[in-house]
Amino acid sequence: MCFTKLNTVLLLFISLTTSVLCAQAQESLIINDSSSCSFNSRKLDLLVKNDSLYQATILINNAISFSKKYNLKKTEAKSYNALGFVLTKMSNFKKAENYHEKALTIYDSLNENKGIDISYSGLLNAYVLEKSYTKFDSLFPIAQKTSKKLNSETYFINLEYKIKKDYFSFDNASMLNYSDFGLKAIKKTDFDTLNFSKNYRTKDLKKNLMLSFKYYNAIARVKLSNFNPDDYEPLFSINEEELKDLITTDINSYRKIASLNYYKYLYYINSQKNLDSANKYLLKSDTYKYRALNNLEIQNTRNGELIYKIINAEQELALANENRKEEAINSKIFLFSTIIMSIVLAIILTVFYFYFKARKNVIKINKALKNSNSKLIEIDKDRLEFFSILSHELRTPIYGISGLATLIDQENDSVKKQSYLDSLKSSSNYLSILIDNILQANRLKFGNKTLRLKPDKIEKIVSHVVSTVAIAAKNKDLELIVNIDKSDESEYILVDKVAFSQILINLAYNAIRYTKKGSITINVIEKSRKDEEITLGFEIKDTGIGIKEEHRSVVFSAFENKTFLNKNSSGSGLGLYIVKTLLKSHNADIDFVSTPNKGTCFFFEITFQLSVSEENKSTPTLLVHRDMHVLIVDDNKINLLITKKNIEKIAGYSCQTTSNGKEAISLVKEKDFDLILMDINMPEMDGYEVTKHIRLLNPYIPVLALTALNSSEISVKAEASGINQIITKPYIFEDFKAIILSYRTMYNQCNIIDAEAI
């Protein structure tokens, strides 16, 4: 942002002049003492009256910050309404509407009817000037009902907005009706008995409203008249000097006087045929019209400058974001983001330097503003750093997967090819976990995760975790050690395998990420057992960089934990936050001990319910052996090929594929399938709809959803459509195979029962 010398001098002159006029009004808008805290509406109105809108905006923002800091909800809502009012004066109606709605939301939560009344009135004003007439018409009756119930002066102010709306929309009949009603209502109302919305009464409010209603009533009568002299009497009864007196409070007074004289001109031209009088009023109308247009031009120019200054930070932020996206293509996100932020900061500091120098008499206010902007810059800097880190974390495995695929295609040496495949799996696993963490972090903000408990062996889960992170450890030449206390072979625990695996995988990857040499150790220790419960302790140790005690408070905070790494390693900053949150769902907590540059040990305990395995139960020896025929439905050809190859690797299984839901229904009609693997997101017919049709044809065939969607998100719809089980992609092949084989066991048991019946 830059100014010419002339503009700078002009701005300085205006600022110094208004600061003298408003010396008392530039105190804080919040009056705070030991007994109370209130919003000073009189001081704000004085600033607005003297056209010191920028100073008013600064003070309102200070009031908002103060009320947020001390959780003063009522004062915060008043500040939002005040900011909406000032923005309306600047013709920035969209933002004004937004702040009035914020105030309305707070007042509604506090059940504060007086505040709701003020918010409604502010919105009606913004709607009229913005010409959002549909919104106005829907809110007006609600606002009037509230004002009337409170016996508030806003009832008449809202009525004036309604008449203005009819004037702007050329609804002359409605304008006449409401202005007649307003004149009658205001005459019989004693304003001393009203409950005023502000903490003081507006001077001459009744007189000004009466004059406004008379003006619009006279205009409506003239517009609906066919130059009948009687209809012009209200027009000539309006005192032009009284309209001039409103100029200090109503910028539209010049326009009103111009219109008043124009209709007098029409009267003398069309009704009285008096050319001299007509020309006199036409000249007066043109004079005031010129003044009105000149005032409007000045106001628009000033409003443009004020709005530009107020939202400059937002515009600069948008520019920074756009530049960051462009530079991300060239893999220089962090460097260019830093440069852009430096340029923005330099511009802001330069502007404020000259601004502060010219405004020495208000240096206290400017310091507060500078502190506020510095805080916003820090917040944005943290956000930029997170997205920069996240972009790097996503691009790194994607680049690795793409590059390794090319190397595998070009490599003939089977040993090297296997090494590349291992690295490819590691990059794929890391990318999958990173995406899960990002999605999980968003879901966990709204409450604890609901666990889906099923019998499983802790050894099996730990083995799965180790297989997931083993390649990553191997790539860094780290030794991966696992110690598990032995347990009864028939003893199972009830556990949410997905959630618990995510805890261990995040901790293991975290240890690998911050360890350059040495080992990673996973210990599972039986702490205690009683009746049908067992308490297991878990330790994940590393020989990495360690954590200083001063950083303990931010280790488990999302994004903030990046602060203690000092660029020692990469990572999204979400892993430990997700671990902490998921452990709350297990009624457990996590802690750690650490020595900088020697290593860290994270530890926690969970109490599980015990479950006896059903594997040892006697089963009939009669088994029906035949090939199992599987139908795979997926619109993605690559996914279709992968699933087909995985099915064919299972002995005794064959499959048929289709990429269309309608074709799948036809195939089920024509052929007998033992199992169906169904994708959820498909064009024309999704997996839910296809399954519903299949259930009409065959209610017994197992249908498994093979989808990249999270199972907890679609479980209700899947169950309602008739899907038996959800397999989430990507999956471990052994787990996939076990699920497929379990449905063969179910098939054999069904045939055994049929055989016994025969």
Mean pLDDT of 715-722: 88
- For residue 253, name the pLDDT band (cuts at 50, 70, 90): low
User: What confidence tens digit (pLDDT) does each residue in 4-46 have?
Assistant: 444 444 444 444 444 444 434 344 566 654 444 566 777 777 7
Amino acid at 285: S
pLDDT score recorded for residue 566: 47
pLDDT of 664 over the 70 cut:
yes
Q: Is 720 exposed, middle or buried (0-12, 13-18, 19+ CB in 10 A)?
A: exposed
State how far the alpha carbon of 547 is from the alpha carbons of 310, 555, 565, 594, in Å: 42, 9, 8, 6
Does the CA dihedral 242-244-248-249 come out positive or negative? positive
Fold held by 628-757: Rossmann fold (3.40.50)
pLDDT of 329 over the 80 cut:
no
Give which of 163, 130, 131 is closest to 144, Cα–Cα: 163
Report yes or no: 156 and 141 within 8 Å, Cβ to Cβ: no
Give which of 657, 608, 607 is closest to 635, Cα–Cα: 657
State how far the alpha carbon of 514 is from the alpha carbons of 349, 476, 505, 511, 563, in Å: 38, 11, 14, 6, 14
Tokens of 414: 């089977």
Amino acid at 423: S
pLDDT score recorded for residue 678: 93
Q: In CATH, what class is 5-225?
A: mainly alpha
Beta bridge pairs of residue 631: 656, 676
Least confident of 283-292, 340-349, 611-620, 662-671: 611-620
Q: What is the residue extent of each domain of the chain?
A: 5-225, 226-304, 312-396, 428-612, 628-757
Report yes or no: 444 and 578 within 8 Å, Cβ to Cβ: yes
Tokens of 522: 């996973």
Give which of 59, 55, 90, 60 is closest to 355, Cα–Cα: 55
Q: DSSP assignment of 544-577, as one string?
A: SS---GGGGGGTTSTTGGGGGTTTSS---S-HHH
pLDDT of 729 over the 60 cut:
yes
Q: Within a 10 A sphere around the Cβ of 755, how many other Cβ atoms?
A: 12
pLDDT score recorded for residue 85: 85
The CA distance from 562 to 387, in Å, is: 12
- For residue 348, name the pLDDT band (cuts at 50, 70, 90): confident
Q: Is 30 helix (H, G, I), strand (E, B) or coil?
A: strand
Least confident of 91-105, 109-123, 237-251, 375-389: 375-389
Mean pLDDT of 512-541: 92
423: Cα within 13 Å, side-chain hemisphere? 21
Residues ≥6 apart with Cβ < 8 Å to 637: 659
Q: What are phi and psi of 442, to 5 degrees?
A: -70, -40
User: Which pTM was predicted?
Assistant: 0.41
Averaged confidence pLDDT in the chain: 77
The CA distance from 248 to 354, in Å, is: 32
pLDDT of 77 over the 80 cut:
yes
Residues ≥6 apart with Cβ < 8 Å to 623: 748, 751, 752
CATH code of the domain occupying 428-612: 3.30.565.10
Does the CA dihedral 210-213-214-215 come out positive or negative? positive
The CA distance from 729 to 632, in Å, is: 14
The CA distance from 320 to 334, in Å, is: 12
H or E, element range at 31: strand 30-32
64: left (phi over 0), alpha (psi -120 to 50) or beta: alpha
